[in-house]
């Protein structure tokens, strides 16, 4: 097998939560489809996922849209049952869904209720969906789980970056993202001998037309001088999903333009 063949995902089924979303999810789903996988995207909006899947099919890929509420264990089980009934297997699980309000409030605005709501997707949902599909991966003797963390999985956030804007980083965010990395390691250690690999991608900040004061500070601090764009996670996710990373597990792959090195 040539090296480029090891990146191919033909004959494999991949599920991407929030895979029709405008930020990380859709680029991840596109990458897996371009590598040859049958791709399923799922989030609360069935219509959005079906529309996105149709767009991928029009480009010549095998794609399907389903529905899930990542904070609802029963909804996750329905998604699991639907995937297994339709495809009979799952080879790649990418957890990129979130379940929080954008900029859910800083330290002063945070309450226990808001903390719980902000953390629900990454805590309840991440565990529940991994628990639902790991058993299938064990039965088939192979599977790759890729969890989408953050640079704030590995470093603290700098509150001075947000000065002069309304942007706030909720304290629950680094808490759950750091926990995601060690949960990934737990799965890697527990199920490695049964053929299941688990890794985490820790992206830098994604450009989404943020206020100029923030953008200016971010770009100045980042060694590559820009925020992450739609293409920047594609290579990383295909690498971790495919046989190109067959001996990589429990790893947190930072894709941040060098943000965390200084």
Catalytic residues: 173
Residue 189: strand, helix, or coil:
helix
Cα separation, 203 vs 228, in Å, equals: 8
Q: Which of 53, 50, 48 is nearest to 37 (CA)?
A: 53
As a whole number of angstroms, the distance between CA 96 and CA 68 comes to 13
Residue 44 burial class via C-beta count within 10 angstroms: exposed 0-12, middle 13-18, buried 19 and up: middle
Sheet strands side by side (includes 92-95): 63-67, 38-43, 13-17, 92-95, 143-148, 196-203, 252-255
Instruction: Count CB atoms within 10 A of the CB of residue 257.
Output: 22
Encoded tokens for 70: 């990542």
Inter-residue contact 79 to 67 (CB < 8 Å): yes
List the structure tokens of 233.
């996670």
Q: What is the DSSP letter of 51?
A: H
SS (H, E, C) 88-156: CCCCEEEECCCCCCCCCCCCCCCCHHHHHHHHHHHHHHHHHHHHHHHHHHHHHCCEEEEEECCHHHCCC
């Amino acid at each position: 097998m040539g090296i480029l063949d090891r990146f191919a995902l033909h004959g494999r089924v991949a599920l991407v939560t929030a895979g029709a979303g405008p930020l990380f999810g859709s680029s991840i789903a596109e990458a897996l489809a371009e590598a040859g996988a049958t791709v399923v995207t799922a989030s609360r909006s069935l219509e959005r996922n079906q529309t996105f899947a149709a767009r991928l099919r029009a480009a010549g890929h095998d794609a399907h849209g389903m529905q899930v509420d990542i904070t609802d264990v029963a909804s996750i089980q329905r998604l699991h049952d639907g995937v297994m009934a339709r495809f009979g297997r799952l080879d790649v699980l990418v957890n990129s869904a979130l379940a929080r309000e954008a900029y859910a409030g800083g330290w002063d605005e945070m309450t226990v209720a808001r903390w719980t709501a902000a953390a629900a997707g990454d805590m309840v949902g991440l565990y529940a969906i991994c628990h639902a599909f790991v058993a299938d991966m064990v039965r088939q003797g192979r599977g790759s789980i890729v969890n989408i963390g953050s640079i704030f999985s590995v470093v603290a956030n700098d509150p001075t970056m947000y000065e002069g804007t309304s942007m706030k980083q909720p304290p629950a965010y680094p808490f759950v993202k750091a926990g995601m990395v060690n949960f990934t390691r737990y799965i890697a250690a527990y199920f490695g001998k049964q053929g299941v690999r688990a890794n985490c991608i820790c992206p830098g900040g994604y450009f989404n037309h943020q206020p100029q004061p923030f953008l200016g500070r971010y770009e100045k601090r980042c060694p590559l001088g820009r925020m992450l764009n739609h293409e920047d996670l594609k290579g990383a996710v295909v690498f971790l999903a495919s046989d190109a990373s067959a001996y990589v597990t429990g790893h947190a792959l930072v894709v941040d333009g060098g943000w965390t090195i200084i």
